Structure formats: C-alpha cells, structure tokens
Amino acid sequence: MIETELGSLRRSHYSAELDSSKDGTNVTVMGWVLTVRGHGNISFVTIRDKNGDIPIVAKKGNCPDEIREKLSSLKPHSSISISGIVKASEKSPSGFEIIPSEIRVFSEVKKIPPFEPLAKTVKNIDTRLEVRPIDLRRKVLQDIFKARSQVLTSIRDYFNEQNFTEINTPKIIATATEGGAALFPIFYYNKEAFLAQSPQLYKEQLTMSFEKVFEIAPIFRAEPSRTNRHLAEAISIDLEEAFVDYNDVMNRIAEIIKISLSAVNNYVNKNPETEFIIPKMPENIPQYSYDALVEKMEKAGVKIEWGDDLYPTNLKKIGLEGFYFIKDWPLGPKPFYVKSSRSNPKLSESFDLMFGDLELSSGSTRIEKRDELEERMKNKGMKTDAFEYHLGAFDYGMPPHAGCGIGLERLIMALTGTENIRDVTFYPRDIDRLTP
Ligand code: ATP
Ligand code: MG
C-alpha cells in the first residue's frame, strides 16, 4: 500500500460537537485559520470548520514552543489540523478552548486575502467573485447556501409525497422553445445546436407517460442586459402535470412557497445569528388579473396599453408587495404552447407568481391539440417542420396538462431578502462573467 499524504490523521470532532462538557478529551480538529492573535508568550488562534469556530490557545509552558510559534506565524485561510486537549473555559465565548499538542499545516497561505474572512459586507461583488471559493466561507453566504440546500430538499420531498417523478431532459437541443433571441448556439459535431432555455417541450411530452413530473436543472438564456435578477445560467424548478389546468398549478405553487418558507424558518431557528429578511406567508396568495392591474396602473397615471408587459417599475407604482399572482395575461406575447382562454380568446390561461416587482415563476395551461398548436406556431412565424419531433407526440393522445417553471435563485432571493441574484448563485454566469 502506498503512503497517503494525510496518513491516518483524521478529524475526531466538528466544532458543533465540542463544548465545555468535553473537558479533558483528546481531539483532532481541522479547518481554516480565521484569526491569529499573539502577545509574547501566548497565541490565540480561531479555526473555522463547516459548522463554526474553534478557539485554540497556546501558552508558554502549556504546549511545545515550536507549536506556539508556528501558530502565531499563520496567516488567515491556511488549512490546518490541530490535535490537543479540550479545556473548559469561562473566558471563551464557546465555553471551551483547545490546548494544542500537535499541528499539521496542510496548505499555508502566504497572500493577504482581498477581504477579511469575517467581513459581513464586501462592497465590490466582482472582487468577491474573483475569489469565490474563499468568499463562500463568509457566514452570510454560508447561511444562504445552506438554507438553499434545505429548501431544495423540502421541495423534492414535496414532489415525492405528491407522487411526482423526477426527470432530466436534454440540455443540448435542436430548436428554440420560446423564441430564438435568447439562445446560446453551440457546435454539436458538424451541426448547430443550442443550450436549452427551458425543458418545456420535453416535460410536456413526459406527462403522456408519467403524468406528474418535475425537473430541477439549469436553463440557459443569452440575456443581453445587466440586471440584479438575470443570469445566463439559472436553475429552474419545473413541474408539469396531466389532467389539470393553471389553477391547480397555482395551488401547487402556493404549497411550494409554504414549505420553502418553513425550510428557511427552520434553518434560522437552528442558526439564530442568521440575518435573513424572511417574508410573511399570506393565508392565501392574492390573485390579480392582468386586466385589473392595468386598470390600477391607469388610475395611478401610468402610461400603459392593453397587451403591454407589466414592468417592474410600473408594478412598484401601484405598490404591490409580497407574494401575489398575476393571471389571465394577454395571449399575444405568450409562447406558442400556452392555451387561450375559453371565455375570451385574447386572454390566456396563464399566470406569473410575483414577489414585489420580482417575477418568480411563469406557468400556464398548455395546448393539447396538434392543430391548435400548429396554428399558434404559424401565427408566430415559426417553422412547424422543425418541431415535428415534438408535434408528432400530439398524434397519440396528449392529455390536457399544465405546469410552470420557478426560478430557484429568485425564490431564494425572495426568501432571504437578498438583492443581487449573484449572491445566491455559487458561480454566477452573466454577460460579463464566464469565470471562475
Ligand atoms: P423575466 O421577465 O424576469 O426576464 P421571463 O418571463 O423571461 O423572466 P420565464 O421564461 O417565464 O422568464 O422563466 C420562468 C422563470 O425562470 C422566471 O419567472 C424566473 O424565475 C426564472 N428565470 C428566467 N430567466 C431567468 C434568468 N435569466 N435568470 C434567472 N432566472 C430566470
Ligand atoms: Mg415569465
């Protein structure tokens, strides 16, 4: 057997497993140097692991001199292991400290970090993104991404309880689903292909066999503008269901918001220092029709014509806050697969879920009849031939179906009170950024 770098050295405890009751226990802890202070004969070092902080106190006479000297020479971010004995201590905020008897430095940092590891805010987001893996050690971001992980777990649990099947659809596709402008073209062997801007057509097809499906996966949009709410690569929580309409989907979304909120609240209860601004969940999420909001806007003096989009600036002017739905949008601008309303063919069976002026989700009842779908595509100037791979499915009993896509990053922004979508994305991609 070859000798490994780490050998038999392993962590015995995470920070969360240590307290004054472990007084006298021999432990090995591992993590990153957070702070180093020393006055002559004593050095204080804090190391941080994935759960929290561990105080190390090296005093002359208490631990070997070379360990004390090594500790006091360390720079923040160095990754180390300390073996030693736990000592209960009233002076320490965590109620204990570790007296080191052995140290192992895995990688010693020589550079001065571009920001303090403890900093709550670092103004320039680009400075942070350049060293994203280090930025992600900061407590604010740890909280956001750990809460995000729990939100995802509870959403998956919800889908499982409700008998949905988790699907994965191709991200390399032949044709645009929602109009071509926002697509990224790629080389696919000797052909042109695109990165999928949504799983739309595939998830619809899969309702023919699985009825209730969901996918949590990237969508790609060549967004031309620089905003705090658009990424070039985002994660979409898509759901699609057979034999239901858009009203059922709105009910599901309300459930999903409820369980996501409770996942975040649970996280905060367990981590009371978290600084999220968590929204309140209304008993029922209010629903406004597009027409009603246009009327409100006209009354508020906004210049708007029926059929226009309801822009964030205009939504602000009528003071809508928290979660609400805007439903029954004009059919014209909606994608070809959205069903028109029976009572008024100018309207569609569609909705957006909003949080203030931020769109979190769009959903609709979809068309299940081939001729209706083809008609809509032709009206939009689309070539139906290129979609035969999709249209062909409609010859074999497509059920009535409805669904939606929820932007995960935007949902997390709403649930934690985060302003910039880049802060809720591990490695954001936008018009200016392709690294790290
Ligand atoms: P917007 O009008 O805000 O640009 P959209 O209407 O183009 O969004 P949809 O095609 O309806 O977006 O996509 C469904 C959901 O996916 C959106 O409500 C949003 O939450 C999310 N989403 C769409 N595009 C992006 C993007 N570029 N970055 C982050 N999330 C996005
Ligand atoms: Mg939308």
pLDDT tens-digit series, residues 289-347: 999 999 999 999 999 999 999 999 999 899 999 999 999 999 999 999 999 999 999 99
CA of 58 to the centre of ligand 1 (A): 53
- Name, in order, each residue with C-beta under 8 angstroms of 184's C-beta and a sequence gap of 6 or more: 194, 195, 220, 222, 232
Least confident stretch, 180-194, 361-375, 386-400: 180-194
pLDDT digits (tens, 9 = 90+) for 361-382: 999 999 999 999 999 999 999 8
Q: Which of 178, 200, 230 to mutate to test the pocket of ligand 1 (most atoms within 8 A of CB)?
A: 230
402/284 Cα distance (integer angstroms): 21
pLDDT of residue 180: 57
Q: Which domains does the chain have, with CATH numbers?
A: 15-107 (2.40.50.140), 134-424 (3.30.930.10)
Where does the pLDDT of residue 426 fall: very low under 50, low under 70, confident under 90, or very high at 90 and above?
A: very high
In the block, residue with structure tokens 């971001």: 141
Q: Which of 410, 420, 425 to mutate to test the pocket of ligand 1 (most atoms within 8 A of CB)?
A: 410
**What tokens appear for 96 in the block?**
């204990």
Pocket of ligand 1 (CB under 6 A): 178, 221, 223, 230-231, 234, 236, 359-362, 405, 407, 409-410
CA of 359 to the centre of ligand 2 (A): 7
Whether the predicted pLDDT of 47 surpasses 60: yes
Whether residue 363 contacts residue 246, with contact meaning beta carbons closer than 8 Å, is answered with yes
pLDDT digits (tens, 9 = 90+) for 406-422: 999 999 999 999 999 99
Whether the predicted pLDDT of 177 surpasses 70: no
Backbone angles phi and psi of 105, in degrees to 5: -100, 115
Where does the pLDDT of residue 123 fall: very low under 50, low under 70, confident under 90, or very high at 90 and above?
A: confident
CA of 315 to the centre of ligand 2 (A): 15
How many angstroms separate the most distant Cα atoms in the chain? 87
Ligand 1 nearest atom to the CA of residue 231, by list position: 28
Nearest to 310 by CA among 331, 291, 286, 284: 291
Ligand 1 nearest atom to the CA of residue 405, by list position: 14
Q: What is the 3-state secondary structure (H, E, C) of 193-225?
A: EEECCCCHHHHHHHCCCCCEEEEEEEEECCCCC
Whether the predicted pLDDT of 194 surpasses 70: yes
Closest residue CA from atom 22 of ligand 1: 407
Q: Which of 236, 364, 426 to mutate to test the pocket of ligand 1 (most atoms within 8 A of CB)?
A: 236
Ligand with minimal distance to 358 CA: 1
Whether the predicted pLDDT of 178 surpasses 80: no
- Please give the order of strands across the beta sheet that includes 212-220: 165-166, 212-220, 233-242, 401-407, 358-366, 350-355, 323-327, 287-289
How many degrees, rounded to 5, is the angle at CA 203 between CA 198 and CA 205?
Answer: 130
CA of 433 to the centre of ligand 1 (A): 19
How many degrees, rounded to 5, is the angle at CA 179 between CA 316 and CA 336?
Answer: 90
Query: Over the chain, what is the mean pLDDT?
Result: 94
CA of 334 to the centre of ligand 2 (A): 9
Closest residue CA from atom 23 of ligand 1: 407
What mean pLDDT comes out for the span 97-101? 97
